[in-house]
């Protein structure tokens, strides 16, 4: 079966995964909280950094819940986890409309949203893709990861329109309604009830590694460290784009419209990266794709911005976010196999989530200082370089998975 045949056969899974990832917990938090920043600050007299701390709460919570969610997905299947979590996340977003002027209540509401929606993390949806695709695995992951760009840009604009015309409380309700009206029905009708059998698990039920074995594997630490640094570098930018652009002389509507190019960059980055991953060594693909992003960050720091140039640079920044999720899922499937995909993803995701959780809060806090943006952008570019160097030390794909002693393409 060719890669194209796999795509044709598995289009229903790709559709469900694309929508699921695009409307997932971390996607919606990242893309919308920047839109709610000014209205919440005005309504409750909160500081920007205090509001953005919610991103840290979500990502730290996701890092803690990632390993058990991964084990649950491996044990009972992605479909069940996805259906329950999509419904939970929908109601969790609606619950945010009830927050009071108390910061502890605000943080508790986001913590509850994280608990209810943890099963909408990409590991749930990519588990289905990894199980059903082999020759076109990179492209399939790229296609489904496009959802963050499509739905991220769309939900940002929708939230802005609802917030602008009807207030921020109904903005939160609108986000939850999207999950219940769009994502849940698609997951119900298009996700298969059974994931293909894993031959390694059937042949060797005791082959799954213990936590101590996973922690002793250098690939786990390299990936966790690289994606921690990479997510730290990238995650602080997107929630602060609107504020940076308004401080650079753009009005609020223009800033939101320019920031939407970030989502378009994600679409391009994920499709190109996915296609390249099937043909070339993944760490090299990541390094090549991230170099323009580092250059764009330096340009943001020192170049006078016009609307077209700002849109182009934001588009290039989006390609970096398009790379990281693609590469994370693909690298785990090639270096560790499908048998332990969920558990390994959950473990490595801790590093990714810590970086992604600290990035927005740290970036926002430091940006309050006068003239801080150039330093932050250049620092982010340097961190991207560190992440690339780390990934290049992974070495060739293993012929046999070091954790399960099985063929990664079969496991």
The tens digit of pLDDT for each residue in 210-220 reads 666 777 788 88
Query: What average pLDDT score do residues 8-12 get?
Result: 82
Could you tell me which residue, 252 or 96, shows the higher pLDDT? 96
> If you average pLDDT over each of 62-66, 256-260, 337-341, 388-392, which comes out highest?
388-392
pLDDT, one tens digit per residue, over 124-183 is 888 888 887 877 888 888 888 777 777 877 887 788 888 888 888 998 999 999 999 999
Specify the pLDDT at position 211.
Answer: 61
Nearest to residue 129, comparing CAs of 25, 226, 12, 273?
12
* Average pLDDT score over the chain: 82
Taking residue 392's Cβ as centre, other Cβ atoms within 10 Å add up to 15
For residue 167, report the phi and psi dihedrals to the nearest 5 degrees.
105, 160
Specify the pLDDT at position 209.
Answer: 57
Specify the pLDDT at position 194.
Answer: 60
- Res. 114 pLDDT band, cuts 50 70 90: very high
- The pair of structure tokens assigned to 62 is 């996701």
pLDDT, one tens digit per residue, over 17-73 is 999 988 988 888 877 887 888 888 888 988 887 888 888 888 788 878 888 887 788
Q: Is the pLDDT of residue 348 over 50?
A: yes
Q: Is the pLDDT of residue 201 over 50?
A: no
Could you tell me which residue, 136 or 399, shows the higher pLDDT? 136
Nearest to residue 97, comparing CAs of 86, 113, 117?
113
Specify the pLDDT at position 22.
Answer: 87
Contact 198, 134 (CB under 8 A): no
Domain parsing of the chain, residue ranges:
7-196+207-392
Specify the pLDDT at position 107.
Answer: 94
For residue 204, report the phi and psi dihedrals to the nearest 5 degrees.
-140, 80
Could you tell me which residue, 1 or 350, shows the higher pLDDT? 350
Contact 117, 87 (CB under 8 A): no
Q: Is the pLDDT of residue 199 over 50?
A: no
CATH architecture group of domain 7-196+207-392: Up-down Bundle (1.20)
Could you tell me which residue, 291 or 206, shows the higher pLDDT? 291
Q: At which residue do the structure tokens 């007299």 appear?
A: 45
The CA-atom distances, in angstroms, between 201 and each of 75, 131, 220, 329 are 11, 13, 21, 20
Contact 7, 131 (CB under 8 A): no
- The pair of structure tokens assigned to 291 is 């170099």
Specify the pLDDT at position 216.
Answer: 75
pLDDT, one tens digit per residue, over 360-370 is 778 877 877 76
- The pair of structure tokens assigned to 59 is 């990502």
């Amino acid at each position: 079966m060719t890669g194209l045949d796999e795509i044709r056969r598995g289009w229903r899974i790709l559709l469900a995964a694309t929508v699921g990832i695009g409307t997932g917990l971390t996607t919606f938090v990242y893309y919308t909280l920047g839109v709610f920043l000014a209205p919440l600050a005005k309504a409750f007299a909160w500081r920007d950094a205090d509001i953005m701390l919610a991103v840290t709460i979500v990502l730290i919570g996701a890092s803690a819940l990632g390993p058990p969610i991964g084990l649950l997905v491996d044990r009972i299947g992605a479909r069940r986890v996805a259906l329950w979590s999509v419904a939970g996340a929908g109601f969790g977003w609606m619950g945010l409309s009830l927050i009071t002027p108390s910061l502890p209540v605000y943080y508790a509401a986001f913590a509850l949203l994280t608990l209810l929606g943890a099963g909408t993390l990409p590991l749930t949806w990519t588990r289905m893709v990894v199980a059903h695709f082999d020759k076109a695995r990179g492209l399939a992951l790229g296609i489904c990861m496009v959802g963050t760009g499509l739905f991220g840009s769309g939900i940002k604009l929708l939230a802005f329109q609802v917030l602008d015309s009807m207030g921020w409380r109904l903005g939160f309700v609108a986000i939850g309604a999207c999950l219940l009206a769009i994502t849940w029905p698609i997951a119900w009708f298009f996700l298969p009830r059974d994931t293909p059998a894993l031959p390694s698990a059937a042949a060797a039920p005791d082959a799954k590694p213990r936590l101590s074995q996973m922690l002793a594997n250098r690939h786990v630490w390299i990936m966790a460290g690289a994606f921690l640094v990479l997510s730290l570098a990238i995650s602080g930018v997107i929630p602060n784009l609107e504020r940076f652009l308004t401080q650079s002389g753009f009005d609020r509507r223009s800033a939101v419209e320019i920031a939407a190019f970030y989502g378009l960059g994600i679409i391009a980055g994920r499709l190109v990266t996915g296609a390249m991953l099937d043909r070339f060594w993944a760490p090299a693909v990541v390094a090549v794709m991230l170099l323009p992003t580092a250059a764009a960050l330096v340009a943001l720091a020192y170049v006078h911005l016009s609307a077209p140039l700002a849109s182009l640079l934001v588009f290039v920044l989006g390609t970096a976010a398009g790379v990281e999720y693609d590469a994370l899922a693909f690298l785990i499937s090639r270096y560790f196999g499908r048998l332990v995909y969920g558990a390994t993803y959950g473990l490595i995701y801790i590093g990714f989530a810590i970086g992604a959780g600290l990035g927005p809060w740290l970036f926002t806090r430091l940006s309050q200082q006068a003239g801080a943006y150039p330093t932050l952008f250049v620092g982010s570019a340097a961190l991207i370089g560190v992440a690339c160097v780390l990934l290049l030390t992974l070495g060739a794909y293993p012929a046999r998975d070091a954790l399960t002693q099985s063929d990664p393409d079969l496991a």
